[in-house]
Amino acid sequence: MSAILVATGAYYTWLAMTTIVGYRECVAEGAAREGFELTFPLWVVTAIDGPDRYRISKVIRDVPIEGSTAEIAEGSTVSVIGHFRASDGVVVQSVREVHVLRVYKELLGIVGTVLALLALPFGFRLRAGKVVERG
């Protein structure tokens, strides 16, 4: 079963890295990808370069976006849909959502993770090397 799980993970990784056309592929193929629509869900703003230019990062660092920088700052989480412009490798933003509450959601995630780990000994115990649920 562990081999099946590892194989599934490897297949997913292969799909994610080879079959999805992203910013990297657009840059590599240049003019052939002019106007190609790209989606960046939940990326982090890593630089503001001017009133209409910023950069976002996730698995790729510093993807340049052309679009209003109103309501965003370095560290903001945004989802962006835009079109690739081959001449300068910039993504021209057409839709953007600023995830204002993302920081609170991440905080709740951290609190939840810590609470889950702290609660483990109250829910389970070890007996003869095996886990047993209490109660």
Partner 1 sequence: MADLITHACTALLAKAPYRRPVHVATFLAGTCLPDLIGRVPAMALTKLRYTLPAIPEALVYPWNVVHMPFGLLCTAYLLTFVFREGDRPPVFRNLVGGGLLHLAVDLLQFHFGVGYLLLFPFSTWDYEIGCIGSEDTVRIVPVLAPFTALVCWLRWRSSEGDLVR
Which residues would be at the binding site for partner 1 (CB under 8 A)? 1-2, 4-6, 8-13, 15-17, 39-42, 46, 57-59, 61, 79-81, 95, 97, 99-102, 104-105, 108-109, 111-113, 115-116, 119, 122-124, 127, 130-135
> Least separation, in Å, of the C-beta of 35 and partner 1?
18
Give the closest residue to 96 by CA, choosing from 36, 54, 34, 49.
Answer: 54
CA dihedral 58, 63, 68, 69 (to 10 degrees): 60
Task: Output DSSP code: residue 60.
Answer: S
Residue number, 78 or 88, with CB nearest to partner 1: 78
The residue among 89 and 123 lying less far from partner 1, judged by its C-beta, is 123
Q: Which is nearer to partner 1, 73 or 100 (CB)?
A: 100
* Residues making up the chain, counted from first to last: 135
By C-alpha distance, which of 85, 6, 4, 91 is closest to 40? 91
> What is the smallest separation between the CB atom of 71 and partner 1, expressed in angstroms?
15
Minimum Å gap between C-beta 87 and partner 1 is 25
Looking at the Cβ atoms of 37 and 52, the one nearer to partner 1 is 37
Mapping DSSP to helix (H, G, I), strand (E, B) and coil, where does residue 90 land?
Answer: strand
d(CA 130, CA 86): 58
Q: How far is the CB of 102 from partner 1 (least distance, A)?
A: 6
Instruction: Give 24 or 30: the residue with its C-beta nearer to partner 1.
Output: 24
Cα 17 to chain centroid distance, Å, stands at: 14
